[in-house]
Amino acid sequence: MPAYDGITVIAGPCALETYEHTMEMAYKISLVRDAVRNFGIGFGYRGGAWKPRTRYHNHAGEREFEGVREQGLEWLEDVASAYGLPIVTELMSEDDLRHFGRHLEPERDYIQIGARNSQNYALLYAVGGTPFGVLLKSPQHGVDVKEAVGSLQRLGRNRQRVYCVRGQRRFIAPDGQGDAAFSAFLGQFMKGDGQHPDARNINNIGAIRVLREDGYFADNGIVLAYDPSHTFGGKNDEIRRMIGENAIRAVTGYGYGMLEIEVNDRSSHSKVDGDQALLTTVNGVDWPQTNAGQGPGVVPDAGKEPCPYPITLVDIAAALVDYRAAGMELKTDSPEVVSAKSRLGQISWDARP
């Protein structure tokens, strides 16, 4: 993926579940990439082969789905081969690093270090000894520049390093009751620009400013990414729309060079995070297959035409085309812009490889 003055969008499902769905989503994401590549907008494919979960058992006492593991890396190998998409997928343990070396390409692909492992130094040292690109998530407790630099320093040998800002976890006191003064402050904070009272996490989109002020990021070519999916966390159509709005705002308003977005066109059947996934497009969409029109706890085959209407991956790509075109001094009605948007408009929800 490019580490230049362009933009990169990492898109795909939160977790890999079946081979057919993995390839279907990769195909459609490659169509979006092909439509906008002349504007310096690159695409990669995200999908977790291992998927860490907060709970080991759900409320019914059943084990939570934690991924298809090494088999998923085999599927991602096929994605990269078939569609030329760089891969971004999470590594949970240094013991599994050997699988990544067997199925992925260090000169093309990226190992993701999740928020829970952002200061797991044994894991960071192991990954730092490889030439893979690395996408490091900010911790659940928020962005701390000193901590970020410390983690990135342990990845000094990697081909490229990306620091990805995700939502900050709300304050939780040891007794579970919370601190009254902090809760009052947070209540006011959540009313600020870019926040929403139903969001799962505090929106850290402005953290890019303090990261840029630290010389380590500029001096070492650290790419700054933003993940809106794990900031707003779905829940309803309004917040899913905010995921798309903030993805666009992160680039056009804050200057992030990379986005990581969960995109799943069959989100009503997803085992993981189906409520927060965006759609590739609404062109020809089968609403019951999606999370549209549903609130928390998405029900399979219960989706319906939503209100407000979703912002899709195609919509985000079109907005980035406009943004890049302005920098290239191209008018919105120029042949290049019209052609790119026409190709985006032709992508269908039910497109198959």
17 band by pLDDT with thresholds 50, 70 and 90: very high
β pairing state of 41-46 and 87-90:
parallel
Q: Which of 44-58, 127-141, 237-251, 278-292 has the lowest mean pLDDT?
A: 44-58
DSSP per residue over 189-254, as a string? HTTSTT--TT-SSB--GGGHHHHHHSHHHHHTTPEEEE-SHHHH--SSHHHHHHHHHHHHHHHHTT
Q: b/e for 113-138, b at 16 or more Cβ within 10 A?
A: bbbebbbbeebbebbbebebbbbbbb
197 pLDDT more than 80 = no
- Give the pLDDT of residue 308: 93
Arithmetic mean of pLDDT, 15-27: 97
Tell the burial category of 188 from Cβ atoms under 10 Å away from its Cβ (0-12, 13-18, 19+). exposed
Specify the 3-state DSSP secondary structure of 6: coil
Q: Give me the mean pLDDT over the 227-238 stretch.
A: 91
Q: Whole-angstrom Cα distance, residue 163 to residue 71?
A: 27
Split at pLDDT 50, 70, 90, the class of 175 is low
Q: How many helices (H) and strands (E) does the chain have?
A: 12, 8
pLDDT of 176 > 60? The answer is no
Structure confidence at residue 137 as a pLDDT band (50, 70, 90): very high
pLDDT of 4 reads 44
Domains of the chain: 7-345 (3.20.20.70)
Is the pLDDT higher at 189 or at 213? 213
- In whole angstroms, what is the distance from residue 308 CA to residue 152 CA? 40
More reliable by pLDDT, 176 or 149: 149
- Other Cβ atoms less than 10 A from the Cβ of 13: the count is 26
Percentage above 90 pLDDT, the chain: 77
Of the candidates 241, 248, 250, 156, the one whose C-alpha atom is nearest the C-alpha of residue 203 is 250
pLDDT recorded at residue 2: 46
Two structure tokens written together for 273: 């995070």
Given a cut of 80, whether residue 129 has pLDDT beyond it is yes
Stretch 106-124: mean pLDDT? 96
Residue 190 has pLDDT above 50, yes or no: yes
pLDDT above 70 coverage of the chain, percent: 94
Q: Provide the 3-class DSSP secondary structure of residue 9.
A: strand
Across the chain, what does the average pLDDT equal? 91
Which pLDDT tens digit goes with each residue over 295-316?
888 999 999 999 999 999 999 9
pLDDT, tens digit, for every residue of 311-336? 999 999 999 999 999 999 999 999 99
Per-residue pLDDT, averaged over 82-91, amounts to 98
Q: What is the pLDDT of residues 61-85, one digit of tens each?
A: 777 777 789 999 999 999 999 999 9
